[in-house]
Structure 1
């Protein structure tokens, strides 16, 4: 029988319930519409606290959510009436071993902390593209970003994890210890436990890079598509680009976030044909490396409302960036003056990512790349949320069919509904690797204690 007072007496961290003054603060999330009113928020101090929280939740019949950075637009780091294991308050540190080129990163850290700690030693690791994203959620879903062309996915650069499983066991998982669990978590999401520490490979990194935002008028879409076709066919592993078609408060534009892991002179030389198209805004410059993952932050402000939907890129950029599709985009978004709507086409070189065998990890190794439909709005009303969802699904029809990046999946596609788990989307995501994941789920979480992401049904 669960007893909250007994739980509190053994717990080293902080327990917050609806009766506490800091309860509302404890629910805070990046996406305001992703907040859920938990019965208990457990700010854990160590893996033993995590094990206690899992036991209490199981005994009390509370659904568990894991909160690292709190960046899920789908609400997977929140639990209505459940228990949140929150790593962000105490388990948020990063320790770098420059000799071994390793970063020891606690599960509640964000990428800004990792970037800043690593570059002090002339090193960097693969991260995402928004630096206030949590390390944990991005990593267990696969994780990619500006350095992926050179070094692959975040999971490809993960050498060990400390994981608290459903029965409260605290396990080290790597290639030789608990290797099945190590395989499953690298792309299998939060299905198997709570990761309290990651160990990542780091790589030598120049202190400054060429990066920034360009904005073009919408009538340049065909020229940008033609440029991107030529560039993408010959892309170098130390480059990357995100090209978005966007309508902000009624005003359409084409935006490009560019990156070359070199000097400004070299970057402008490589991307001369893009600059020749004539951006109306050019913020690209040489910046300190640790600022690279902040260039998207103005478009990802904390506390707004968000809806995500991931789709696949076409075979060529011109298949995504053309007048026909752009006109359809404008038609769909024409009656959404209170929403900012974007389709962000992520052109990160995939040769390194896809060079690994299909069964190296659960993450798919045949993806052409992803685009993210992201819709932002301010007033958190059901009407605005419905409008965003309908627009996102209409825009998804412009993309090729297929299951895209798991971290971009909206709630309706991934989460259990009305007490029943729909495995269809999960099977599509993992395909041939799904039966192996089911066997691992049966071994470590047969009762589906962890069920907030692409939920794997035990074999």
Structure 2
């Protein structure tokens, strides 16, 4: 029996255990298969609370998980029998310094909080593409979204963090203070501590943008291929596009193109004219308030549904790959009632991202976009999870095998799209694959700040 008095003394937040009425809600996650039964959920209020929780975990040899938005489908923000340091309830504020164009954001905030607050000042920060994801996970893994073409990765727009490291010390990390730690957290995941505050650089942002989806019949796929290839040769930095193959729980198959242009509807439709000339069966695009863009996907990715995600990189658009992926997706889902499965080919302009040197942050820069398979299903069974894992691998292998320009070792993955927590012995190998030439430096940092691997979720880095 744990003696909670050692934690509760001086702890300002909320301590939830299995006997409390809000326990089930406290361990709930976006992907219901990622739920684990923690012994303690510590809703911290500040860095001092985090330090107390870490000390308690060390003293009682408890597994540690950090929860911000709780979106990791592999369960990195959950702990079976351990302690969850949860930032979402109290450490979720957003303050804007409009004059300096900076946002001070709590580690438990979600992107919607920042989008809605910043735009009131005519500003925006680089975010993802779904606004109920947490700022912490997306940022620490690199982070990209609709504004990346103009402003780079999320980590390129972090100017400072407050982080509680494994020894319980609250440190400020920036370009002038604890610079090694500042380098490591920008792409090194949660390996170095609990970030209680991010300070982001903001950019002037027009109040409305052009965005939405156009939908095509599967027969249009052959015409879409050359259009995408041509568009991708010289994409506008204000634009972004995602091609999605989707089969919903109703069994219907569609080809979706999600569009974004940071400008007027007229400018956006000019940028994507060739797509419209093919003849979509539905046009749900319009000029809309900027803060609505990252909410467009929300109805399709609700909380509390079993989910498996797996991503790989594609060196360039290839019609034959898209056709094979689509055909295989159809075959895999013929007898899977209730399943929804999507394969998204993301096209975000990468010139700005790749203008930053690979060793400037822990996050590596490659001129290739991501392909993400997301599978969701009704019943949280091991059999369904096994099917989702196998199906996603079959689909992503098609993409990987087509990357003829790369060796196996060069077929890297993006940390935020990694499907496993990598706590096992091969975790270091996975981290090496993600961070490539930066991995030795990250191992040295891990030895300095967390030699006992207190933080071992997501993609664990082995200390040097």
TM-score grouping bracket, smaller chain normalisation: over 0.9
Q: What is the aligned counterpart of 1:434 among 433, 439, 452?
A: 439
Match of 2:296 in 1: 295
State how 1:143-162 maps to structure 2 within 5 Å.
Answer: 143-162=143-162
State how 1:372-387 maps to structure 2 within 5 Å.
Answer: 372-387=372-387
Q: Is 2:211–2:260's contact at 8 Å kept on the other side of the alignment?
A: yes
Q: Is 2:315–2:367's contact at 8 Å kept on the other side of the alignment?
A: no
Distance 1:124 1:203 in 2: 5
The answer on 1:119 being equivalent to 2:114 is no
Deviation per residue, 1:324-369 (Å, 9 max, x gap): 3422232233232221111111100111101111111111112401
Deviation at 1:6, TM superposition (A): 2.2
Match of 1:34 in 2: 34
Q: Is 1:158–1:200's contact at 8 Å kept on the other side of the alignment?
A: yes
Match of 2:404 in 1: none
* More deviation, 149-158/2-11: 2-11
Deviation at 1:4, TM superposition (A): 1.2
SS at match of 1:257: strand
Match of 1:407 in 2: 416
The answer on 1:306 being equivalent to 2:315 is no
Distance 2:53 2:388 in 1: 35
SS at match of 2:268: helix
Distance 1:178 1:246 in 2: 45
Deviation per residue, 1:21-70 (Å, 9 max, x gap): 11101011111111110000000000000000000011111110000011
Deviation at 1:87, TM superposition (A): 0.3
Change (3 A) 1:214 1:416: same
Deviation at 1:120, TM superposition (A): 0.3
Change (3 A) 1:327 1:230: same
State how 1:49-448 maps to structure 2 within 5 Å.
Answer: 49-249=49-249, 250-318=251-319, 320-321=321-322, 323-400=323-400, 402-411=411-420, 414-417=421-424, 420-448=425-453
Deviation at 1:225, TM superposition (A): 1.4
Q: Is 2:427–2:459's contact at 8 Å kept on the other side of the alignment?
A: no
Q: Is 1:172–1:178's contact at 8 Å kept on the other side of the alignment?
A: yes
Deviation per residue, 1:207-228 (Å, 9 max, x gap): 0000001111111112111111
Distance 1:54 1:384 in 2: 35
Deviation at 1:319, TM superposition (A): 5.2
| Alignment: residue pair count | 454
RMSD between aligned residues: 1.3
Change (3 A) 1:319 1:440: farther
Deviation per residue, 1:180-230 (Å, 9 max, x gap): 000000000000000000000000000000000111111111211111111
The answer on 1:17 being equivalent to 2:17 is yes
Distance 2:246 2:221 in 1: 11
SS at match of 2:373: strand
SS at match of 2:245: strand
Deviation at 1:273, TM superposition (A): 1.2
Q: Is 1:421–1:455's contact at 8 Å kept on the other side of the alignment?
A: no
Deviation per residue, 1:278-319 (Å, 9 max, x gap): 222211001000101111212211111110001112422535
SS at match of 1:372: strand
Q: Is 1:232–1:317's contact at 8 Å kept on the other side of the alignment?
A: no
Distance 2:292 2:325 in 1: 33
* More deviation, 145-154/19-28: 19-28
SS at match of 1:130: coil
- TM-score, normalization by structure 2: 0.96
Distance 1:31 1:326 in 2: 25
Structure 1 unmatched ranges of 5 or more: none
Structure 2 unmatched ranges of 5 or more: 401-407
Deviation at 1:277, TM superposition (A): 1.4
SS at match of 1:190: coil
Match of 2:403 in 1: none
Deviation at 1:2, TM superposition (A): 6.7
Q: Is 2:6–2:56's contact at 8 Å kept on the other side of the alignment?
A: no
Match of 1:455 in 2: 460
Q: Is 1:332–1:394's contact at 8 Å kept on the other side of the alignment?
A: no
